[in-house]
Amino acid sequence: MPNRRDLLKLSAAGVLAPSCSGWLPALAARAADPAGKPRPKACILLWMNGGPSQGLTFDVKDGGPYKPVETAAPGVRISEYLPKLGAQAKHLALLRGMSTGVSSHGTAHYLMGTGYQTGAMKRPAVGSVVAQQLGNPDSVLPNFVVIDGGQAGGLGVLKPPFHPAYTGPKNAPMMIDDPSKGVSDLKPLVSDDDFARRAADLDEDNRAFLASHPGDAAQAHATTAKRAVSLMRSDTFKALAIENEPAALREAYGPHKFGQACLLARRLVETGVSFVEVVNDGWDDHGGAVDRIKTRTFLDAGFATLLSDLKDRGMLDTTLVVWMGEFGRTPSLNHGGHHCKAWTTVLAGAGVKGGQVVGKTDKIGDVVEERPIDAPAFMATVFKALGIDHAKKIDNHGFRVPIVDKAGEPLPELF
């Protein structure tokens, strides 16, 4: 019977670790829906970690360092540095009225990553809730995947929360550290018969340990081991390798890690994964964002190509794409400070009415003048777009807890 050392060997082989190759083989088995069966809804969240400047991206003001330019959506203007997204603007709903009042990374991450303020009760990440509500509950495969989308050239900060909390370890995310990395570490180092015996012993060991030491940590360990063994038995991972995509499409997404992560996100959603989060770090521009925005052309290429690719494949109607950070940046100070009074998020797909702006800021983008949007309203909107009842209550060890803060109602303009 294997001991903890056996588990460490599996971890060293990249099986139990949060690696890029993690779940690609098994996910391939879910690639095709039966003919005529509607594709379930899914979400791709593009998280700009650190807080992107609304004034240099989607709420650009006249007289600022960069010009606001017309887009394919009449009356909607965005930064001159986002021409490809401008061409896709008919799909975009720009929520310029975001206003949360939380300006520190940790608490803002928590608020926008869960929909709740920090408190005594640990709340699950939005991805875990979506995985629980839309994912296949009988599958050992992850319904929530987080991909490292590289650096934006600025200061890295604490990552958003990914804890499954009371949705359970089954809805914890698989962490992918490199969308272009191979999966050669998945092959067992022993014969098939020996591997089958070890896997059976490991399962028996975990069952016995869980029986004598019940709890979330033990359950999470057993779930991870079960997923890992299932993965190692699969040889279908090549179906999801992004190098199998046409070279022209990979080039369109861009060579940056962010673009390739967006491509992998599309592939994962195509296989049936319910929630994929791409984290692009380095938007905490305390030294100023004006010059740095020029180096972030990967944002335009990756985001815009993701939208067009989803559209071409008939997937945009069922896939919600969200672009956001935890807050924005101050209009003054070279767009360098934290700014939570007025900032922008972007939604596209899944039936959301695009080509519009919701909310209006003052002439410099400092405060919201029309249609303020708080975190509960934003989160309720996301869940409505995904077909999830935002007022539904889910179990938390015997207590019924609302998916979204009871104050939150979806934005009717988007539906």
Per-position DSSP letters for 300-364, written without gaps between them: HHHHHHHHHHHHHTT-TTTEEEEEE-S-EE-SSGGG-SEE-SSEEEEEESTT---SEEE-EE-TT
Between the alpha carbon of residue 186 and those of residues 105, 109, 148, 245, 395, the distances in Å are: 36, 33, 20, 21, 36
Give the model's pLDDT for residue 109. Answer: 97
Per DSSP, which regions of 7-109 are E strands?
42-48, 68-70, 77-79, 92-98
SS3 134: helix
- The phi and psi torsions of 126 (rounded to 5 degrees) equal -55, -35
Q: Please check whether residue 365 is in contact with residue 342, taking contact to mean a CB–CB distance below 8 angstroms.
A: yes
Question: For each of the chain's 415 residues, which pLDDT tens digit applies?
Answer: 444 444 333 333 333 333 333 343 334 334 445 455 677 899 999 999 999 999 999 999 999 899 999 999 999 999 999 999 999 999 999 999 999 999 999 999 999 999 999 988 999 999 999 999 999 877 656 899 999 999 999 999 998 889 999 999 889 998 999 998 834 455 666 666 666 676 676 667 667 776 776 766 666 566 656 655 655 555 545 546 899 899 999 999 999 999 999 999 999 999 889 999 999 999 999 999 999 999 999 999 999 999 999 999 999 999 999 999 999 999 988 999 999 999 999 999 999 999 999 999 999 999 999 999 999 999 999 999 999 999 999 999 889 999 999 889 999 999 9
Q: Domain spans of the chain?
A: 104-182+241-271+389-404
Q: Do β-strands 174-176 and 368-370 pair in parallel, antiparallel, or remain unpaired? A: unpaired
Give the model's pLDDT for residue 226. Answer: 61
Q: Distance (Å, rounded) from C-alpha 75 to C-alpha 22?
A: 44
Give the model's pLDDT for residue 216. Answer: 61
